[in-house]
């Protein structure tokens, strides 16, 4: 689905285009074309491939999707894949965007994501002095927008983790906490899979030999790299905290089970003494001296009650009951 196709020159919007009009605008000096597709069909990808002379392998990656975040060069064209993560009703949904950038064009192909980049286009058009730098600035703006969307997810992880930590020592909450912690761990892993590979390859866009389209935007790409470094560091800290919290909760489960075992053992000891005494006086041997005594029965009950009471008092002091 074609979202928009716009021609820019000297930092100003010139015209909205159809895909078959792209060729004539690409021949104009100091201008570029910005095309946005969502869940593109094979025919649409074939059209833009012909219009921008894109490499077959890059188009194949954009068509199939489910790619690891990466940055590749095909001649003068830079090809980037980034993951789009969205939290929908507590579930983390993963989409992706493939971006093709040349000296006079930018093409974004978004898949499996409902959040578009209209805000990025509006931001760029509000800054004509930067938009005049060409496709490189749009490339930076798209990458920056994707990375900025990771911060709310990171904040959500930290908030949920703080809520769980506040309940760690609440009796009976350990098992549910472990379930929530494993869900947080899964979301943190998904965010890390989106950030870490991109962090590894982003150095290609600043410092040393960089693609021609990025030459005048290196400091901006370095800023994106700094953001990714911060996010990656925070993810590592969250993962460490989650691991520690899981261990603490497992310890709490063990402690709670130990407390239950102690209570059961205390009551078992109390009833064991009573059972032992009742068993002794219940053997009915003919020569047992207590059998003919008038006060034997109430005395036996009193001894059993006294023994049970002493054991209960002792276990109570020890905190077992």
Band (207; pLDDT cuts 50, 70, 90) = confident
Of the two residues 20 and 281, the one the predictor is more confident about is 20
Write the CATH number for 45. Answer: 3.30.460.20
87-107 mean pLDDT: 86
Query: Does 234 map to a domain?
Result: no
Band (86; pLDDT cuts 50, 70, 90) = confident
Residue that finishes a domain, picked among 103, 130, 157: 130
Query: Does 188 map to a domain?
Result: no
Of the two residues 296 and 82, the one the predictor is more confident about is 82
Query: Does 263 map to a domain?
Result: yes
Q: What are the helix (H) ranges across 202-217?
A: none
SS3 35: strand
Is residue 195 within 8 Å of 232, Cβ to Cβ? yes
For residue 81, pLDDT over 90 is answered with: yes
Query: Does 64 map to a domain?
Result: yes
Determine the distance from the C-alpha atom of residue 258 to the mean position of all C-alpha atoms in its chain, rounded to a whole number.
34
- Note the pLDDT tens digit of each residue in 156-187: 999 999 888 888 878 777 778 888 888 899 99
| pLDDT of the residue at 29 | 77
Q: CA distances (Å), 40 to each of 47, 199, 298, in order?
A: 11, 27, 91
Query: Does 94 map to a domain?
Result: yes
Separation between Cα atoms, residue 256 and residue 251, nearest integer Å = 9
| pLDDT of the residue at 92 | 80
Band (119; pLDDT cuts 50, 70, 90) = confident
Query: Does 27 map to a domain?
Result: yes
pTM of the model: 0.78
Residue that finishes a domain, picked among 112, 130, 148: 130
Band (101; pLDDT cuts 50, 70, 90) = very high
Containing structural domain, residue 276: 256-318
Burial class (CB in 10 A: 0-12, 13-18, 19+), 304: middle
- Number of structural domains in the chain: 2
Residue that finishes a domain, picked among 104, 130, 156: 130
Least confident stretch, 62-66, 222-226, 279-283: 279-283
| pLDDT of the residue at 285 | 67
Write the CATH number for 309. Answer: 1.20.58
Q: What is the DSSP letter of 317?
A: H
Band (237; pLDDT cuts 50, 70, 90) = very high
* Cα separation of the two ends of the chain: 69
| pLDDT of the residue at 288 | 72
């Amino acid at each position: 689905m074609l979202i928009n196709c716009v021609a820019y020159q000297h930092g100003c919007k010139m015209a909205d285009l159809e895909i078959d009009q792209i060729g004539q605008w690409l021949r104009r000096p100091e201008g570029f074309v910005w095309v946005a597709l969502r869940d593109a069909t094979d025919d649409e990808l074939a059209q833009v491939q012909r219009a921008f002379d894109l490499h077959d392998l890059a188009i194949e990656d954009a068509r199939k999707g489910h790619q690891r975040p990466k940055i590749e060069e095909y001649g003068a064209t830079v090809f980037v894949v980034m993951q789009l993560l969205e939290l929908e009703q507590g579930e983390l949904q993963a989409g992706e965007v493939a971006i093709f950038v040349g000296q006079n064009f930018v093409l974004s192909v978004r898949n499996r994501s409902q959040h578009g980049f209209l805000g990025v286009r509006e931001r760029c058009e509000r800054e004509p002095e930067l938009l005049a730098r060409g496709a490189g600035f749009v490339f930076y703006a798209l990458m920056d927008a994707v990375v900025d969307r990771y911060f709310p997810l990171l904040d959500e992880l930290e908030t949920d983790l703080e809520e769980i930590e506040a309940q760690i020592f609440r009796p009976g909450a350990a098992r549910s906490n472990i379930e929530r912690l494993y869900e947080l761990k899964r979301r943190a892993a998904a965010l890390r899979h989106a950030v870490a590979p991109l962090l590894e390859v982003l150095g290609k866009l600043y410092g040393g030999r960089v693609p021609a389209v990025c030459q005048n935007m290196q400091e901006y790409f370095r800023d994106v790299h700094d953001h990714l470094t911060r996010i990656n560091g925070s993810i590592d800290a969250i993962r460490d905290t989650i691991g520690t919290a899981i261990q603490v909760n497992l310890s709490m489960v063990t402690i709670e089970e130990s407390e239950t075992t102690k209570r059961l053992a205390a009551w078992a000891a109390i009833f064991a003494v009573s059972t032992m005494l009742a068993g002794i006086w219940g053997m009915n041997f003919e020569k047992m001296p207590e059998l003919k005594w008038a006060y034997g029965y109430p005395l036996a009950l009193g001894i059993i009650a006294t023994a049970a009471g002493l054991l209960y008092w002792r276990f109570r002091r020890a905190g077992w009951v």
